[in-house]
């Protein structure tokens, strides 16, 4: 019988690479996203609607033992605290934090009944460090690190592991959108900004979504059976500086 993995936000970027990676390892993968995808078994889902998330995951869990949940859905947002309207703060938290809350809460009864499971949250290097002009995003990603830790402690007795993956600058559509927005506001040259971002990394390049997916797969595997409550940094050395 195939192992089952649920991924939120699996239609692009890191999420899509995670879906593809688990498929290559023989998993049955369910992708919960607003945007359709041909990879995995797509379920259209607004991650900010707790009841909708609960309904979809409960339907999956009724038919399958869920081995892995990857809470990946998220958005980027650049602004200082003064420049962050309440509605934008709510939007960031509804997607990045409440979406994770909804997915984890929905899958836990199944994992408890099956005496095990792996939960991986896609956080950020900003769970460990601060960056300028990143108030709401930084706050939301630090919250995901906290969720990983508390969930790990609360559910260790059920053999449920929870960890957060903390990527640095990864070359995804989200990254390119953020760079495009910055260049539109500032008039900067995109190629130059892209080179500068790469130069900021000790390894001299940006990370790739496939590299993050490899780490997620490891954390979901039996090889990581003694790892829980951890923050796994994959950032080319950025936070070590």
Give CA separation, 143 vs 77, 105, 122, 128, in Å: 15, 15, 11, 11
In the predicted model, what is the mean pLDDT of the chain? 96
Running DSSP on this structure, what letter comes out for residue 35? S
Q: Are residues 155 and 177 in the same domain?
A: no
Q: Are residues 149 and 38 in the same domain?
A: yes
Number of domains into which the chain is organized: 2
Q: Domain limits at 187?
A: 171-206
Asked, for residue 241, whether it belongs to a domain, the answer is no
* Model pLDDT, residue 26: 97
Higher pLDDT, 73 or 177: 73
* Model pLDDT, residue 203: 97
Indicate whether this model's pTM tops 0.85. Answer: yes
Structural contact between residues 195 and 206, judged by C-beta atoms closer than 8 angstroms = no
How many CB atoms are closer than 10 A to CB 133? 12
Structural contact between residues 123 and 235, judged by C-beta atoms closer than 8 angstroms = no
Q: Are residues 56 and 142 in the same domain?
A: yes
The length of the chain in residues reads: 241
155 is catalytic: no
Q: Would the pLDDT of 188 be above 90? A: no
pLDDT class of 177 with cuts at 50, 70, 90: confident
Q: Are residues 164 and 192 in the same domain?
A: no
Q: Would the pLDDT of 117 be above 90? A: yes
Three-class DSSP category at 77:
coil
Q: What is the mean pLDDT of residues 14-28?
A: 98
Asked, for residue 240, whether it belongs to a domain, the answer is no
Active-site entry in 27, 77, 101, 137:
137
52-71 pLDDT per residue, tens: 999 999 999 999 999 999 99
**H-assigned helices in the chain:** 13-24, 50-63, 86-93, 99-113, 135-155, 173-186, 190-199, 209-220
């Amino acid at each position: 019988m195939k192992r089952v993995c649920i991924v939120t936000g699996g239609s692009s970027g890191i999420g899509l690479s995670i879906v593809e990676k688990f498929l290559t390892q023989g998993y049955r993968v369910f992708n919960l996203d607003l945007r359709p995808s041909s990879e995995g078994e797509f379920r259209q889902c607004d991650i900010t609607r707790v009841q909708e998330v609960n309904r979809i995951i409960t339907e999956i869990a009724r038919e399958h033992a869920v081995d892995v949940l990857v809470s990946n859905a998220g958005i980027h947002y650049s602004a200082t605290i003064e420049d962050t309207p309440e509605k934008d703060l709510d939007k960031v938290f509804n997607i990045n934090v409440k979406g994770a809350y909804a997915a984890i809460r929905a899958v836990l009864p199944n994992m408890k009944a099956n005496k095990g499971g792996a939960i991986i949250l896609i956080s950020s290097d900003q769970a460990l460090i601060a960056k300028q002009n990143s108030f709401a995003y930084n706050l939301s990603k630090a919250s995901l690190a906290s969720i990983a830790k508390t969930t790990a402690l609360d559910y260790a007795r059920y053999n449920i592991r929870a960890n957060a993956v903390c990527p640095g600058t990864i070359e995804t559509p989200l990254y390119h959108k953020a760079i495009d927005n910055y260049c539109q506001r500032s008039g900067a040259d995109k190629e130059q900004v892209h080179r500068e971002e790469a130069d900021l990394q000790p390894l001299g390049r940006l990370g790739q979504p496939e590299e993050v997916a490899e780490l997620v797969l490891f954390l979901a595997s039996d090889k990581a059976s003694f790892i829980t409550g951890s923050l796994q940094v994959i950032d080319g050395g950025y936070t070590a500086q």
